[in-house]
A and B are shown apart, each in its own frame.
Chain A
Amino acid sequence: MEKVAIVGVGQTTYERRKEDTFDELVFEAATKALADAGGGIGDIDNIVTVSNDFWDGRTISSMGIQDAAGSWDKDISTVEGDGTFGVLYGMMRALSGSFETTLVVSHMKGSEAVMNLITNAIFDPIFQRSLGIDATSSAALQARLYMEKIKASQEDFALASVKNHKNAMNNPNAQLPMDISVDDVMKSKMLADPLKMLDCSPISDGAAAVVIATEKGAKRFKKSPVWIKGVGHVSDAYTLGYRDLASTRALDAAASKAYKMAGIKDPMKDLDVVELYDAYSYMEPLWYEGLGLAKEKKGVELLKSGATAMDGDLPVNPSGGVISAHPVLVAGMTRVVEGVLQLRGEAEKRQVKGAKTALAHGINGACGQSHCVFVMGV
């Protein structure tokens, strides 16, 4: 594969409710990414936007943001899924020979819709939807299966929430920077047993953008490139009840592919920082297993060891993770943006010293059905 880089990143702050309209958020993130790259819209050959018609309450949700994304008289397309898939598509287009640069931008205003209703519509309308299941209740079923499988406790999962909310205190963009204890998590309001309020990510508004360039395209910009070393994306089966929710086989496959491309042999050693999609506390140790940071059933063990804390061997979610700000669809792109900042040494108070290789992870669908994994390096 030809070399391909991320040369610019931009993000808004993430908040419970922003006044800005979809297009205003997109414009903010996109112009920040362009400015960060040291270029302008004229340096962009094509655009990929990321949005979701259900969340936006609008069929063709990308229609409202074409101007803000800078798509006038340019080739453009829209991914409906997590931002990591948007980055992936932007990368494919840059590698296709048709373009040398892609601007990818994703937006979300969770505050304008009702999350539980929107995610209820993920479920099969014939056999499951009328039961009223949603993202949180299905995640609770997954959490319980995982607990049973590895004999973990709710307190174990709470550790991820405690760690990440604390990390968020170093991130000015995060929505929920908090110094909390396991006890606080345990005492927070029970939503869907075993998931309590502080096990769950918040509803968020925000946008993020990246500028992708081939080696040649990167020369248009001032910023030194962060290279995409590997990427993999794989979906598991859909049907709740017929997919083993405590298995991470799809993430295993996606990560293996990304590692192979990037020449990563031992991710725990070879990676310097990880930003993963912890929509719920239990997901962090579960995704450790899928990403090969821990062996099967050993995710909680790794979490408890402190190795993934800010001062550990492999800090995971220095930004505070998705549990500290969850603009759906944007959140995976935020992981990429954070990874880039780490590799450039621009992550300020959340900087992992000397980070040379970073992993960013995004998910699509209920209970992390589909995964996308990026390995980036300088």
Chain B
Amino acid sequence: MTEKNEGIELLTIGSGEAFQPFNWSVGRYGSYFLKELKDNKTFYGVKCPKCGKVYVPPRKVCGRCYVAMDELVKVSDEGEVAVCTIIQFGFVDPSTGYQQPVPYGYAFIKLDGADTLLPFFLDSTDPERVKVGARVKAVFEDKRTGSIADIKHFTILD
């Protein structure tokens, strides 16, 4: 690709199809969560022994208390929209290098029993219903592979 700037041709070098592959460890906390999602369509969190906060998905460390956690807690597949929006602008999906399909509803969901929010996409067929406080429920894929994408989306209940 070239452009002219006051008579000087200005070149660019492209990265083409280059990418960096990664093989991230999900860790035992996350692996447990994904397995339960896949096998039982169940959400699990982990509870801090000190402050009692329930983290979903589970992780090892409660940052506030700086202690390791290991008590698993089952939480609901239903919850409430804490914050939300509808994404309408186009951008590149950095995992594929191609444009993301838009629009779509996007929310941070407080599952019943959890103290943290789960960011996910929302069925936004009716954008009017995408609002703070809406009750939502997880809809699962029929064929689940053990990834977060086993959740198809959250659907608005009320």
Asked if A and B touch directly (CB within 8 angstroms), the answer is yes
Q: Which A positions have Cβ atoms within 8 angstroms of B?
A: 18-21, 23-24, 27, 40-41, 54, 57, 66-68, 70-72, 109, 111-114, 117-118, 121, 125-126, 130
Partner of B60, one of A24, A70, A125: A24
Closest to B23 in A: A112
Closest to B26 in A: A21
Of residues 58 through 98 on chain B, the ones whose CB sits less than 8 Å from some CB of chain A are 59-64, 66, 68
Closest to B12 in A: A126
Given known contacts A57-B20, A125-B13, A21 and B25 CB-to-CB distance under 8 angstroms: yes
By the criterion CB–CB under 8 Å, are B27 and A24 in contact? Answer: yes
By the criterion CB–CB under 8 Å, are A20 and B25 in contact? Answer: yes
Partner of A68, one of B26, B29, B61: B61
Known: A72-B63, A111-B23, A113-B22. 19 other contacts (CB 8 A): A19-B28, A21-B27, A21-B29, A21-B60, A24-B27, A24-B60, A27-B61, A41-B66, A54-B20, A57-B20, A67-B62, A67-B63, A70-B66, A72-B66, A109-B25, A112-B24, A113-B21, A114-B20, A126-B13
Distance, CA A72 to CA B48, complexed state (A): 15
Closest to A57 in B: B22
B30 within 8 A of A: yes
Partner of A72, one of B24, B25, B64: B64
Contacts of B23 in A (CB 8 A): 111-112
Closest to B65 in A: A72
By the criterion CB–CB under 8 Å, are B30 and A21 in contact? Answer: yes
B28 CB, min distance to chain A CBs, angstroms: 7
By the criterion CB–CB under 8 Å, are B30 and A23 in contact? Answer: no
Of residues 2 through 52 on chain B, the ones whose CB sits less than 8 Å from some CB of chain A are 13, 15, 20-30
By the criterion CB–CB under 8 Å, are A112 and B22 in contact? Answer: yes
Closest to A117 in B: B20
- How would you classify the secondary structure of chain A's contact residues: helix, strand, loop or mixed? loop
A45 CB, min distance to chain B CBs, angstroms: 14
A32 CB, min distance to chain B CBs, angstroms: 13
Contacts of B20 in A (CB 8 A): 54, 57, 113-114, 117-118, 121
What does the 1/0 interface line of B113-133 toward A look like (CB < 8 Å)?
Answer: 000000000000000000000
Given known contacts A27-B68, A114-B20, A130-B13, A66 and B30 CB-to-CB distance under 8 angstroms: no
Distance, CA A67 to CA B66, complexed state (A): 7
By the criterion CB–CB under 8 Å, are A19 and B27 in contact? Answer: yes
Contacts of B27 in A (CB 8 A): 19-21, 24
Distance, CA A295 to CA B96, complexed state (A): 52
Contacts of B62 in A (CB 8 A): 67
Contacts of A130 in B (CB 8 A): 13
Contacts of B26 in A (CB 8 A): 21
Q: Which B positions have Cβ atoms within 8 angstroms of A?
A: 13, 15, 20-30, 59-64, 66, 68
Distance, CA A117 to CA B64, complexed state (A): 37
Can you spell out 10 A-B residue pairs with CB atoms less than 8 angstroms apart?
A: A21-B25, A24-B27, A27-B60, A27-B61, A40-B66, A57-B24, A67-B59, A68-B61, A109-B25, A112-B25
Distance, CA A54 to CA B20, complexed state (A): 9
Distance, CA A186 to CA B105, complexed state (A): 60
Contacts of B22 in A (CB 8 A): 57, 112-113
Contacts of B68 in A (CB 8 A): 27
By the criterion CB–CB under 8 Å, are B28 and A23 in contact? Answer: no
Distance, CA A87 to CA B146, complexed state (A): 40
Distance, CA A109 to CA B63, complexed state (A): 22
B108 CB, min distance to chain A CBs, angstroms: 17
Given known contacts A117-B20, A118-B20, A19 and B63 CB-to-CB distance under 8 angstroms: no
Distance, CA A57 to CA B19, complexed state (A): 11
Closest to A67 in B: B63
Contacts of A18 in B (CB 8 A): 25
By the criterion CB–CB under 8 Å, are B25 and A19 in contact? Answer: yes
Closest to A73 in B: B64
Distance, CA A61 to CA B28, complexed state (A): 20
Contacts of B61 in A (CB 8 A): 23-24, 27, 67-68
Closest to A72 in B: B63
Distance, CA A19 to CA B20, complexed state (A): 20
A26 CB, min distance to chain B CBs, angstroms: 9
Closest to A109 in B: B25
By the criterion CB–CB under 8 Å, are B13 and A66 in contact? Answer: no
A129 CB, min distance to chain B CBs, angstroms: 8
By the criterion CB–CB under 8 Å, are B59 and A23 in contact? Answer: yes
B136 CB, min distance to chain A CBs, angstroms: 26
Distance, CA A145 to CA B26, complexed state (A): 43
By the criterion CB–CB under 8 Å, are B60 and A23 in contact? Answer: yes
Closest to B28 in A: A19
B15 CB, min distance to chain A CBs, angstroms: 8
B148 CB, min distance to chain A CBs, angstroms: 15
Contacts of A121 in B (CB 8 A): 20
B117 CB, min distance to chain A CBs, angstroms: 16
Contacts of B24 in A (CB 8 A): 57, 112
Closest to A19 in B: B25
